[in-house]
Amino acid sequence: MRVSLKDVAERAGVSIKTVSNVVNNYAHVTPGMRTRVQKAIDELGYRPNLTARHLRKGRTGIIALAVPELGNPYFAELAGAVIDVAADHDFTVLLDHTQGDREQEVLVSQGFRARVIDGLILSPLELESDDLRSRTDDVPLVLLGEREYDLPYDHIAIDNVAAARAAVRHLTGLGRTRIAFLGARTDTANQPAHLRLRGWREALKESGIEPQESLVASVGGWDRGDGAVAMARMLDSGVRPDAVFAFNDLVAIGAMRVLHERGLRVPWDVAVVGFDDIAEGRYGAVTLTTVSPDKHAIARLAVESVISRLRGAESAGNEPDGRELTAEFQLVERESTLGRR
């Protein structure tokens, strides 16, 4: 941060404007002038000060992504995709995490954690609609994830109900009838699993199976340990499912560990389906059948939405607010339901 346009201008014996023109590849510069200025730039090792440019232009080229937890491979993989897509659009990504804690999610949404950003992609877990309704920050916001919001912000997700239905249908199609859902929340106020639970119910009813509450297991969180605890508790209570549909892959993996410890064979005794398609599920002793959301599409939709919005803030023609943008998903069938071939 030492040599500025002015220094280059003096060295080349031209005005600041001319140097700026060269730096920004302005069309109308004579070749001779261009090489002369370029020479001065190279000799001095000039690098434009982006902060100054940002101040002048009112934009930073940075978008923030806030996820619950980087320790969850789904979010780590998603973050990687967001970084790539953002780079395609010449944006860099500021990463933050909230631990899925409502208070932190509010702080992030209000811009109190990072305030030099052009836009924000937030994947909330506990945030409520009201928290966002009272939002005062004016940087464009895009929401990710399984929660439903009725707010003037774009929301990007896969069709969670349909995905859950596909997962459970796969299990009923294999003749399973006692299909547990692992990963609900006890406090109905906060129910990220809401839609997936609904898909579970619908698919069961389709097959003439009455959903039983004893087969719905609550969890404290959605990590491997939470899945293990929930699975163990269900088995201890005497409930014996012949299949498990888990809120996500981590919960499924925790459940599989417990099943393994108890001598229950996956998939023969209990079939397991997860959600997220994290890489981990492709390499265990028993590979995991799972709902695979198109992470790259999610990343692309999110980044493009936020960018179009920050452009819209300047130009006139805005898109409607609060769109529901849906990415594709796929059911990937592996050993945890099909067995080893």
101 phi and psi angles, rounded to 5 deg: -90, 125
Applying CB under 8 A, which residues contact a second copy? 1-2, 45, 47-52, 54-55, 58, 60-62, 69-71, 73, 76-77, 79-80, 83, 87, 92-97, 111, 113-116, 136-138, 223-225, 228, 253-254, 256-257, 260, 279-280, 282-286
Residue 66, SS3 per DSSP: strand
Residue 45, contacted partner among a second copy, DNA, none, CB below 5-8 A by kind: a second copy
In the bound complex, what is the minimum distance in angstroms from residue 121's beta carbon to DNA? Answer: 24
Separation CA 239–CA 215 (nearest Å): 7
In the bound complex, what is the minimum distance in angstroms from residue 68's beta carbon to a second copy? Answer: 11
Residue 208, contacted partner among DNA, a second copy, none, CB below 5-8 A by kind: none
CB nearer to DNA: give 46 or 75: 46
Residue 29, contacted partner among DNA, a second copy, none, CB below 5-8 A by kind: DNA
Long-range contacts of 275-279 (CB under 8 A, 24+ apart): 275/163, 275/164, 275/167, 275/196, 275/246, 275/247, 275/248, 275/249, 276/73, 276/74, 276/248, 276/249, 276/250, 277/249, 277/332, 278/73, 278/74, 278/77, 278/249, 278/250, 279/73, 279/77
Residue 20, contacted partner among DNA, a second copy, none, CB below 5-8 A by kind: DNA
CB nearer to DNA: give 27 or 285: 27
In the bound complex, what is the minimum distance in angstroms from residue 278's beta carbon to a second copy? Answer: 9
Residue 96, contacted partner among a second copy, DNA, none, CB below 5-8 A by kind: a second copy
Residues β-bridged to residue 327: 158
Burial of 34 (0-12, 13-18, 19+ CB in 10 A): middle
Q: Which amino acid is at 8?
A: V
In the bound complex, what is the minimum distance in angstroms from residue 284's beta carbon to a second copy? Answer: 6
Residue 155, contacted partner among DNA, a second copy, none, CB below 5-8 A by kind: none
Applying CB under 7 A, which residues contact DNA? 1-2, 4-6, 14-18, 20-21, 23-24, 28-30, 32-33, 46, 48-49, 52-53, 55-58
**At which residue do the structure tokens 């059911």 appear?**
331
